[in-house]
Copies of this chain bind each other. A is one copy, B any other.
């Protein structure tokens, strides 16, 4: 049935996201960086966890650790160039947001910058910080969600299809769009529940 082999260990996730974390530095200058190490991590309270390389030059990481508040925004496929750029260059070397002509507004519930050009952003307060391997894991409680009305469905909920988020492949270093819907969750598997 199978024809399997062992591969050299490396970090792996399918699919992985490309998201943008942003925070203010000590002078209230907004910095941002692109991350693929990010996930929801709690329902109550609602939380997100981002992991950032502590061995690399990461200004946004430093800002988040200092300020304890940050924003995570979800770029869409027509922002893939800007998203990629924000993951290549360090904020210590260039004024990245200025370079791509992106603008920010301070969050409603946290003192951290929301990138105006991103259609959905979550405002987070740091509730846990740990170091695991080469990365610092930062868990943030989501205290507010800011969404552009253009990505909301008729019920006022965020539509993934309207948002058009970016899938990142960390093995072949590619970006993908999300494709078509294949099934309803908590539904398509019920056939096995009923099966005797």
Name A's B-contacting residues (CB within 8 A): 1-17, 19, 36-49, 51, 53, 55, 74, 77, 80-89, 94, 99-100, 108, 116, 120, 122, 127-128, 130, 132-135, 137, 139, 141-150, 152-153, 156-160, 163, 165-193, 195
Q: State the CA gap A15–B168 with chains docked (Å).
A: 9
Tell me the bound Cα distance from A64 to B84 in angstroms.
36
- Residues in chain B near residue A143, CB distance under 8 A: 9
User: A85: shortest Cβ distance to chain B, in Å?
Assistant: 3
Cβ contact within 8 Å between B191 and A81? yes
Per the bound structure, the CA–CA distance linking A87 and B183 in Å amounts to 14
Asked whether B137 lies within 8 Å of A4 as measured between CB atoms, the reply is no
This chain: copies in complex: 2
Task: Evaluate whether A171 and B158 lie within 8 angstroms (CB atoms) in the complex, with A6-B146, A166-B182, A181-B176 already known.
Answer: yes
Q: Which residues of B contact A148 (CB under 8 A)?
A: 2-4
Cβ-defined partner of A142 (8 Å) among B12, B47, B141, B188 = B12
Q: Are A158 and B116 in contact (CB under 8 A)?
A: no
In the bound complex, CA of A44 to CA of B37 (Å): 13
- The residue of chain B having its C-beta at the shortest distance from the C-beta of A8 within the complex is B145
Q: Is A12 a contact of B46 with CB atoms below 8 Å?
A: yes
A183 touches B81 (CB 8 A): yes
Q: Which of B36, B185, B189 contacts A40 (CB 8 A)?
A: B36
What are the residues of chain B within 8 A of A177 when measuring CB–CB? 178-180, 182
